């Protein structure tokens, strides 16, 4: 599993045209709804990812306020919140994107895909403040992991490569490679008896009241 330590700096060493082409091609490969490169340029994911790369570069050089300002702007435009301190590998894709949150010490490998409303976050400040200074508070996500809609992966856990985390799952512990996690399915109840007759007494309107 990649640790993503080089992060976007490694991307910046590649020709810019190659990086941008790969980002666009990733969307075309993973989203059947994308029909052209021009259309991909309107995807919230692209705006968030490219803004993040610049913000991360600023963050690493001590320009924390500028990095935060750019991240805030990207969140307003895309609905995706990526902390500039996070490290993200190649061919990363967020489908739809609304309400995705990626914390400061998150590490994401290559070929990872998230759906909307995914949270890669911490377990709470009351626990994080007890950790040694500079320690990791957020997940490490291995290569080729897919995380479904509304799932939350919280704390300094490690998600092994090639794992699949189903929609609305909550992960609080390490997962080995090729893990499968699913949330409990909703129970199907018997259908309502809408044909049942109402008690005639329920139709009596008290004197002086008004039926709507």
pLDDT by residue (tens digit) across 114-134?
999 999 999 988 888 888 888
**Residue 204, number of CB atoms within 10 A of its CB:** 8
Instruction: Give the tokens for residue 211.
Output: 């039926």
Q: What was the pLDDT predicted at 1?
A: 43
Q: What was the pLDDT predicted at 117?
A: 97
Instruction: Of 75, 118, 72, give the one whose Cα is nearest residue 95.
Output: 118
Contact 90, 11 (CB under 8 A): yes
Instruction: Give the tokens for residue 115.
Output: 């759906």
Q: What was the pLDDT predicted at 4?
A: 47
Instruction: Of 51, 163, 143, give the one whose Cα is nearest residue 97.
Output: 51
Instruction: Calculate the alpha carbon distances from 28 to 5, 40, 153, 177 in Å.
Output: 27, 7, 27, 27
For residue range 56-97, list pLDDT tens digits in order.
Answer: 999 999 999 999 999 999 999 999 999 999 999 999 999 999
Q: What was the pLDDT predicted at 202?
A: 53
The low-confidence residues of the chain, meaning pLDDT below 50, are 1-6, 211-212
Instruction: Of 118, 116, 117, 136, give the one whose Cα is nearest residue 128.
Output: 136
Q: Which residues of 132-169 are buried (b: 16+ CB within 10 A; e: fewer)?
A: eeeebbbbbbbbbbbbbbbbbbbbbbbbbbebbbbeeb
Contact 185, 152 (CB under 8 A): no
């Amino acid at each position: 599993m990649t640790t993503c330590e080089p992060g976007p700096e490694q991307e910046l060493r590649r020709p810019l045209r190659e990086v941008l082409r790969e980002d666009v091609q990733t969307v075309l490969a993973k989203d059947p709804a994308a029909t052209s490169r021009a259309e991909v340029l309107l995807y919230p994911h692209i705006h968030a990812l490219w803004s993040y790369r610049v913000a991360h570069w600023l963050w690493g050089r001590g320009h924390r306020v500028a990095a935060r300002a750019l991240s805030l702007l990207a969140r307003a435009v895309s609905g995706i919140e990526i902390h500039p301190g996070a490290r993200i590998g190649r061919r990363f894709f967020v489908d739809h994107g609304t309400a995705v949150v990626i914390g400061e010490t998150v590490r994401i490998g290559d070929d990872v895909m998230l759906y909307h409303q995914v949270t890669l976050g911490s377990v709470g400040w009351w626990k994080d403040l007890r950790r040694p200074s500079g320690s990791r508070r957020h997940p490490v996500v291995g290569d080729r992991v897919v995380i479904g809609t509304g799932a939350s992966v919280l704390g300094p856990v490690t998600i092994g490569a090639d794992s699949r985390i189903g929609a609305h799952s909550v992960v609080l512990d390490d997962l080995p490679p090729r893990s499968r996690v699913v949330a409990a399915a909703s129970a199907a109840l018997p259908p309502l008896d809408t044909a049942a007759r109402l008690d005639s007494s329920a139709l009596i309107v008290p004197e002086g009241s008004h039926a709507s």
